[in-house]
Structure 1
Amino acid sequence: MHGKWGILDSGFHDASVNMALDEALLNWHSEGKIPPVLRFYGWKKPSLSLGHFQKDAEINYRNLQKHQCQHVRRLTGGSAVLHDDELTYSIVISEKNPGIPSSIQEAYYVLSKGIIQGYKNLGIEANYAEDLSRERSAICFERPAFYEMVADGKKLSGNAQTRKRGVLLQHGSIPLSIDEIMLFDLFVFPNEEVKARKRRAFAKKAAAINQLTEQKQTYDTVKKAFYEGFRDGLDLQLEPFTLSESQWNEVFHLAETNYSTKQPTRSV
């Protein structure tokens, strides 16, 4: 595909603001107020984003508090993602765009060309996942989905997609490192032995950028690699896009009313 998109570097925000901004971009694009947008962002604090339909019972809320980890529910489906030391991206684009297939899987494939090129820019030979497990997991990085990136059989990124109001929203997590102890602390397991066994197995299933590159990467170097990856992989012309004061106020209102959460009072 090709075309002219906006590029938004929105910086680091709380979990509620990050998810509210993705929704606001979807709404504004649906209303014809903004062009297709590629957004890069980070998280002020470690944050767990839950899939839209994910069960609360899978999450250990006591340990969320222990790790001072924010949590938020995404517009998109899938399993929970721990956002910490990572680059996060999102895309909003009309379903009617001629470069967007009607099939969810094929749309993933098209947009993932930017992701795979971003990894290649860092010297990581990423490929598309092919041997997909049918086993469900509450933890996103435990198994790859269609057309997600793997290197040496290990999952590299977590991506999710939804379509609303005629607009496709896709966002994804590109970790520089993974805190496996914190990650597995945030979920409910039958006992500590099961948790420890799954955490050990996780190392064989997922990898982060700084496990795969000879030179340690930073948020900024990774952002540059994926900026060029999306630009070249999707043949895009990217033009800087910024939000007005009134747009930011709309985002903050949406964050407060739709995405701000208090930790539930529960025993786990």
Structure 2
Amino acid sequence: MCVLTGKTALVTGASRGIGRGIAERLGRDGARVAVHYGRNEAAAKETVAAIGAAGGSAFAIGVELGKPGDAELLWEKFDRQADGLDILVNNAGIGTAPPIGEITEEEYERVFAVNVKAPFFLVRQGLSRLRDGGRVINISSGLARTAAMPDKVAYAMTKGALDVFTRDLSKVLGARGITVNSVAPGIVDTDNTAGFLHGTPDGWAQAATISALGRVGAPADMADVVAFLVSDGGRWVTGSWVDATGGSLT
């Protein structure tokens, strides 16, 4: 179904994991996808190739987020290949942080720079490019609503800040028909969780029991939620925190 034909999407952190799953799904739905990556150009090119092989259109943009001028540079590269934006998915982020007793000030500032500051200024700098009726999706986390992993407090704090951004931005952009939502994954099988899921004897089984559905999430599970929210079917959902944890919070 090419429900997004004629639309242009930007997915940050789309070279692997959840971001790649989202990029590929939006490509299958007809959108032209800007595949952002931080350092792994080869992986981003694989995502672009996969979208192309499925009949879609995509291009890669390499910018390391969390550094001064990152938003300006990303949009400068975007503008070379597209003339406007319909869908922005803020997915790129540092997936964890050391416990409060171990985290350094530098590490704290880095996780906030990538997970909070970068999405904020990508939106700030992208407002003139985002068309009326567009969509903004911020990838949050179930940890923003539960203290299941208190050792990841700094990371959880960044996702809480992102959720406030979602709520308030929905009011700012609502007059233009632009919806803004947070999607909150639980444990998903990606590079970030591979150490726990595949590197420990009972990791996968333990993770599966956390979900009410009795399994570990996949990037496609998150991509399908995002696909709904950016489609016309999601037009009346905005300012929401969408629990995509597979019932892990119940």
Q: TM-score, normalization: structure 1?
A: 0.26
Q: TM-score, normalization: structure 2?
A: 0.27
Q: Which has the higher contact order (CA 8 A, sep 6+)?
A: 1
Greater helix share, 1 or 2?
2
